[in-house]
Amino acid sequence: MLSIVLGSIDILAIAMAFQCAFYLNYHEEVAFFFLKSRTLKLFILILPLWLVILYLIQVAEIPRTKRYGVLFYQYFQSTVLIVTFLLVFYFVFKLYLISRLFLIEFAIFGLLFLFFIRSFEYKVFKIYRAKGYNHINVVLIADDSSIPFIESLISYKEWGYRIIAIFTGSVQIKQKYEKAIILLPDEYLAVLNDLMEVDIIDEVLYFKTKVIPAEVRNTVRSCEELGVVFSLNYTGQNNKLTNAIKTIIGNQKFLTFINIPHNSFALAIKKIMDISGSVLLIICLSPVLLLISILIKLSSKGPIVFKQSRVGLRGRQFSLYKFRTMIHNAEKLKKDLEAENEMDGPVFKIKDDPRITKIGGFLRRTGLDELPQLFNILKGEMSLIGPRPPLPSETVQYKRWQLRRLSVKPGLSCFWQIKPDRNNIKFEKWMELDLAYIDNWSLRLDFIILLKTIKTVFQRSGL
């Protein structure tokens, strides 16, 4: 939901900038740009392009430790790119009926509106994060040199970093933080593996003056296995480590190892597709959603939408929405049916489940029971395509290598979902399919899965 709000505000800012520039140049002809077909078409062309550029230069989301000067520079970059595109487009297609001054004024207004609105949002989020919301859980591997950095993470609560534990041999760190933070000796670093399995850890930060290669390799391997981000303090001497991107936390530079595909442009397109696709589907399918709601209400007692706790990105739990397909006391009857479970591993499923209602059976066969998850996508808890979100009771039974499927947002559909015989697929094979999706992710793959999902719906092969 936050992504939608921020995206909507960005769209409004760009629209306001376009309108201001339009009014300065064409107010004698017509008051609003959308009343003139030529300028309306131009706006429709520019809007998605500018939004993609904002995603690519990483200013579409609220920063944590970024300076306002850096933020302004990034918005200035986006403005220069937009102006360049507009001028090239202007001369190539000979749009001489549109004033060049109008295009330049639009870009300047866009820069000012976007920057000031984002600055205001940044201040609001600082207050929000200082109260303990929207935080990132980190584990530090530290020595004496990291004390100023640790102090900054603790002091600047508005950054939203929560230190879960520190692995250190530093006497100073022990004396300073032993009452406030969990401290573990360096020789217990192997415990990090278990800690990442049982707790929600977003990132491991390695901050030492002397980098121990074996220690780094083992930690990176553990993080990769579980899908946790690893960042190494960057001093300029260890910049030959390849598969890493440069990041900044406060005043400190890090080399961050991201263990999932990291194509900025493709990820930006995926995020835009998630938001625009879910909005479009909700609007287009609203008559279907209404009809299903009525049929469920008339056919059996209980709520129309069933909410269930599921595990999402990095192990965080959220409420998954589905159309109710079972009788109202289905969860209570589950214990009596556990002996009939037809799936291996921690997943529970019965082909002819007696708890399923008549309308529920149809919804499951067609996959229409999953449609309310479009609202989970709007809220930013899910994506259109990604591994299916598991139950908390399932994840506690996962083997270590299977936890890496939680390193990406769960999705409405995935490899397993489009298999015609998916209920005959062994649990470990299912997990392998999810990891194969993560390792080979691309927009093309998402598009293929989306098309096959539509095919599955029409073939009614959901059971």
237 and 325 in a common domain: no
pLDDT, position 136: 93
Domain hosting 168: range is: 136-257
Average pLDDT score over the chain? 86
More confident call, 141 vs 26? 141
- What average pLDDT does the segment 285-300 reach? 93
Query: What is the number of structural domains in the chain?
Result: 3
More confident call, 338 vs 294? 294
More confident call, 459 vs 171? 171
pLDDT, position 411: 94
More confident call, 335 vs 355? 355
147 and 15 in a common domain: no
269 and 143 in a common domain: no
Rounded CA gap, 179 and 23, in Å? 61
Rounded CA gap, 379 and 125, in Å? 17
* Domain stop point among 198, 230, 257: 257
Give me 176's structure tokens.
């300073």
Which amino acid, residue 95?
L
211 and 120 in a common domain: no
415 and 305 in a common domain: yes
Residue 342's pLDDT band (boundaries 50, 70, 90)? low
Query: Residue 238 is part of a domain; what is its CATH number?
Result: 3.40.50.150
Nearest to 73 by CA among 106, 105, 118, 129: 118
pLDDT, position 339: 59
Per-residue pLDDT tens digits for 44-68: 888 888 888 887 777 777 888 888 8
pLDDT, position 367: 82
pTM, two decimal places: 0.76
Backbone angles phi, psi at 319, to 5 degrees: -90, 115
Give me 104's structure tokens.
């330049």
* Domain stop point among 209, 236, 257: 257
Per-residue pLDDT tens digits for 371-384: 999 999 988 899 99
Per-residue pLDDT tens digits for 302-339: 899 999 999 998 888 999 999 998 887 766 666 666 65
Per-residue pLDDT tens digits for 403-417: 889 988 999 998 888
Give me 239's structure tokens.
């910049």
Residue 257's pLDDT band (boundaries 50, 70, 90)? confident
Report the percent of the chain where pLDDT is more than 70: 91
269 and 243 in a common domain: no
* Domain stop point among 191, 222, 257: 257
pLDDT, position 422: 73
Question: What are the respective helix, strand and coil percentages of the chain, to the nearest 5?
Answer: 55, 15, 30
More confident call, 262 vs 295? 295
More confident call, 220 vs 344? 220
306 and 252 in a common domain: no
413 and 324 in a common domain: yes
Give me 294's structure tokens.
């009525």
Residue 269's pLDDT band (boundaries 50, 70, 90)? confident
Residue 463's pLDDT band (boundaries 50, 70, 90)? very low
161 and 244 in a common domain: yes
Q: Has residue 366 got a pLDDT over 50?
A: yes
271 and 240 in a common domain: no
pLDDT, position 343: 63
192 and 140 in a common domain: yes
pLDDT, position 54: 83
pLDDT, position 36: 85
- What average pLDDT does the segment 152-170 reach? 94
- What average pLDDT does the segment 443-452 reach? 90
pLDDT, position 67: 86
218 and 155 in a common domain: yes
pLDDT, position 18: 93
pLDDT, position 127: 92
- Parallel/antiparallel/unpaired status of strands 317-323 and 305-311: antiparallel
pLDDT, position 242: 53
Rounded CA gap, 247 and 258, in Å? 11
- What average pLDDT does the segment 6-21 reach? 90
Q: Has residue 1 got a pLDDT over 70?
A: no
Rounded CA gap, 120 and 326, in Å? 46
